[in-house]
Amino acid sequence: MLPFKSLWKRAKCYFFMAYPPTGLDAKFQRELESIRVELEQVRQENQRLRHVLEQSHLIAGIAFWESSDTRLTWHSSLKAVRELLGCVPANPDEWLNLIHTEDQERVKSVYDHARDTVKQIQIDYRITLANEQVRHVQEIGLPTYNSSGEFDGYHGTIQDNSERKLYEQRHEHLIDDLKNRNRQLDQFTHALAHNLKAPLVTVSTFAGLLRADIESGDIDKTLGDITRIRATTEKMRVLLDELLKRARAGRFGERKVDTALNTLIDDVTVSIRGVLEDLSIDVAPKLPLVYGDRTRLTELVQILIENAARFTYNASEPRVEISATVSEREVQCCVADNGIGIEPIFHDKIFRPFETLDSERCGTGLGLSLARQIVEWHGGQIRVESTGANKGSKFYFTLPKRDVHTP
């Protein structure tokens, strides 16, 4: 604190600045000018600090407030308040109206509890801006009391919490996804152990029979045993090949690119021409671009076409139709066939590893499971529509467009 004499001297100077006497000497004029310069410096510094404080509040997305029953006072710049809330509430009722309708009762109960228990408020809730945008905020405050101990209102801070909430939601999504993948891996491991064990048991059994037939000199039975062993080992080889494909599908090394769906289909039909036999493939002209790992998307198209070829054996004119539609956020593709169809109760089962509806024609039961893995990695979904036997099937899969966030 300045000494009394300095304060008195400054007070006299301020008085004479407001009511300058005539005939002031040169020394007093210099003192007045010095004070004017000092006041201007103080004014500029105060303006600079106010600007810094305003920018700090804007960057942090925070505002300081104080409320009574009828009035709401802001101790931050109105620009920062308006940036945070979309408006400047003048009383508690206007503030309450900003709170999301689903959160209002919870917020009121927290405030009432803090008033009754004299405890700090810390609560996250949502507010709805004038443009219907929903924003997450965090509020920290305290109830206040007057000198008589009577409740006087609250004071505290409110801060934009939307970005942290977004990261928390993504984190929770990743954890849920990891749990789901672990469950799938556990189911896959059990199914794999069963499917690998079966051919080994078969080989072991026929190896024992083979030895007995050789010792007995029965050539026909010996040749039959060898044929069965070869067939079983071939089935196991196919199974291992499918497992390698599935393992590769979990490593998406290529960068995502835009690829014409027509080009993918042409590449597939050329590479598996021998499998298609009499199958007619009708492809809609000018199909849209799809965005993703081209190698894996080629595998996806191949799986669906081969699946259609395998199950149109009952049709007099086997046919597959491929089409696509585009929405604001995704591309939806459809591979439809006129084959044996699938009963609705099996629509989910066919996408599980090693689940087959026809052991003679379904192979290892890994194809559609691999297709789902590829689609889901790209952030899409796959499903089948079929009303039942001999009604054909339509396999739909979606792929997010380039500007939509995917894993």
Ramachandran angles phi, psi of 291, nearest 5°:
-115, 120
Residue 24 is predicted with a pLDDT of 53
Residues 404, 173, 189: CA angle, nearest 5 degrees: 110
Taking the whole predicted model, whether its pTM rises above 0.85 is answered as: no
Contact 368, 351 (CB under 8 A): yes
Strand partners, 154: 67, 143
pLDDT digits (tens, 9 = 90+) for 289-313: 999 888 889 889 988 988 888 888 7
- What's the CA gap between 165 and 163, in Å, rounded? 5
Q: Which residues in the chain land under pLDDT 50? A: 1-2, 4, 405-407
Residue 219 is predicted with a pLDDT of 86
Residue 25 is predicted with a pLDDT of 64
Strand partners, 398: 332
Residue 342 is predicted with a pLDDT of 85
Contact 377, 297 (CB under 8 A): no
Burial readout 206-230 (b: 16 or more C-beta within 10 A, e: otherwise):
beeebeebeeeeeeeebeebeebbe
Pairing of β 257-260 and β 289-292: antiparallel
Q: Which residue has the tokens 């064990």?
A: 197
Residue 62 is predicted with a pLDDT of 80
Residue 1 is predicted with a pLDDT of 46
